[in-house]
Amino acid sequence: MKIKNRIVLGFSLILSVLLVWYLFVKECDYCISFEIKTSTGTVFQGIQEWSNVQLKNDKERYTILEKRNFDFIRQEMVKGKTKMEYNWEMKYVNDSTTKVNVGIKELNHSIYNRLTAPFFKTPFKEEQIKKIVDFRNGLDNFLKNFKVKIKGEVTSQEAFVAYINIKCVLQEKAQSLIMRDGDITGFLRIHNIKIIGRPYIEIVNWDLDKEKLVFNYCFPINKNTQIIEDSIVKFKTLKAVKGLGASYFGSYRTSDRAWFALRDYAKENGYELENTPLERYLANPFDGGDELTWEAQIVIPFKKK
């Protein structure tokens, strides 16, 4: 066989393999990428909240098939006879930017979409571009509602506290505080125990996979206070914690966005964090006012560097 024929045959085999991979092996029909100025975890939470809105507004039902470490989520979307898969991958770029890659696959028309989407403005392609652009714009608008400032290494203050234990999913942290606030403040008021500082929440366990929290809702009191035995309200010393710190400004419903920013910062700077954030709320949401002036101080302990 002549050298020219071998080269042609070799290229033909390579093209055949690539074509088979593209049509039958490649995970998505079409991929859309964009960058956004926030943490990977904030994008992750935004996807889940956006999916709930899509169900309400467009009757699109999203089911999570797989998720990982707040930087990957795979969903199936069903609307009538249409079935889609969305693979969202969030990549840390720097302490203020995340790159998002969205792989999209239509389960009933996959091969057709792969043949047409790269070259033509098909309804599939136009609809997916519009959908992801709308998601990005919605997330951009949401990001205007809070700010996070990374402080680096910090140490919290020791405090003697009265506290109650709360269990909830991550997304319901603020609602759980509101619902249980009267349990502890009422107890302190009845027993004439004076609150002498702003409240804390001490995360005891953060299950990243299930997005569940166990935490203590704490109010600083005088360390000489007589301890009163109670089945709900307990007392202890909240020890000083050394870790990575941040200031969060905004509604306390989404103060966990500072946790995600600190996780990204830790990865970039070689820290290994515990899953036990400590938050201290410096404003009282019951007083109202501009949410962007509500500050929370966040510390997440690190294991090592």
Angle at 38 between CA 174 and CA 269, to 5 degrees: 100
H-helix or E-strand containing 245?
strand 242-250
* DSSP for residue 155: E
Beta strands in 21-145 (DSSP E): 30-36, 61-68, 72-79, 82-94, 97-106
Q: Convert the pLDDT of each residue in 137-186 to its tens digit.
A: 999 999 999 999 999 999 999 999 999 999 999 999 999 999 999 999 99
Q: Convert the pLDDT of each residue in 69-98 to its tens digit.
A: 899 999 999 999 999 999 999 999 987 899
Q: Convert the pLDDT of each residue in 258-271 to its tens digit.
A: 999 999 999 999 99
Q: Convert the pLDDT of each residue in 163-174 to its tens digit.
A: 999 999 999 999
**Quick check: 114 and 29 in contact, CB under 8 A?**
yes
What number of CA atoms fall less than 13 Å from residue 44's CA on the CB side?
Answer: 28
Residue 2's pLDDT is: 61
Residue 28's pLDDT is: 72
Q: CA-CA distance, 99 to 230, in Å (whole number)?
A: 50
Q: How large is the average pLDDT for residues 28-47?
A: 94
Is pLDDT of 8 > 60? no
* DSSP for residue 253: G
Q: Quote helix, strand, coil % in the chain, to nearest 5.
A: 35, 40, 25
Q: CA-CA distance, 273 to 206, in Å (whole number)?
A: 12
Please name each of the domains of the chain with its CATH number: 26-144 (3.30.530.20), 148-304 (3.20.80.10)
pLDDT confidence of 114, banded at 50, 70, 90?
confident
